């Protein structure tokens, strides 16, 4: 993926992980790295970053989190996590959400979004 993908990347995402994978994605990307995420982890990864990790989103969000969380920030955190989680997310948002969604997303973002979806809700 050279841009933001909408499905899981099957290869290892190296460097700064922000939803853009360095390898070709086989499907539409979800900004979720299925492989080892090395370097600064700015988005939810399926595994703990092997290098400098600002947010560990696999075993639980131990740092601040303002992105989409599957539950409270003390648990698993997926998606964009760059600030402080002010509330519990009721659903999992698999789309690109970085602001505030006033209603339930009906397309890429499913469930309640705690941030603004870049796609139509």
| Domain assignment of residue 109, given as a range | 66-120
pTM > 0.85: yes or no: no
Q: Please count the structural domains in the chain.
A: 1
* Whole-angstrom distance, CA of residue 56 vs CA of residue 63: 7
> What is the model's pLDDT at position 95?
44
Q: How far apart are CA 61 and CA 40, in angstroms?
A: 15
Residue 36 included in any domain: no
User: How many Å apart are CA 14 and CA 107, to the nearest integer?
Assistant: 28
- pLDDT value at position 121? 37
Cα–Cα distance between 90 and 69 in angstroms, integer? 8
> Interior CA angle at 72 toward 75 and 98, to 5°?
105
Residue 73 forms part of a structural domain: yes
Residue 99 resides in a domain: yes
SS3 45: strand
Task: Name the residue with tokens 């789309």.
Answer: 95
**pLDDT value at position 88?**
38
10-residue averages of pLDDT along the chain (121 residues)? 42 47 42 42 39 34 39 40 39 43 42 45 37
- pLDDT of 62 reads 36
């Amino acid at each position: 993926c050279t841009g933001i993908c909408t499905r899981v990347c099957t290869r290892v995402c190296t460097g700064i992980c922000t939803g853009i994978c360095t390898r070709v994605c086989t499907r539409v990307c979800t900004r979720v790295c299925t492989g080892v995420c090395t370097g600064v982890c700015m988005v939810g990864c399926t595994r703990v970053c092997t290098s400098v990790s600002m947010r560990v989103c696999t075993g639980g969000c131990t740092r601040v989190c303002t992105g989409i969380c599957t539950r409270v920030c003390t648990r698993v955190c997926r998606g964009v996590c760059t600030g402080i989680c002010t509330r519990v997310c009721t659903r999992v948002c698999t789309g690109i959400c970085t602001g505030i969604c006033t209603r339930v997303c009906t397309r890429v973002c499913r469930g309640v979004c705690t941030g603004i979806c870049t796609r139509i809700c």
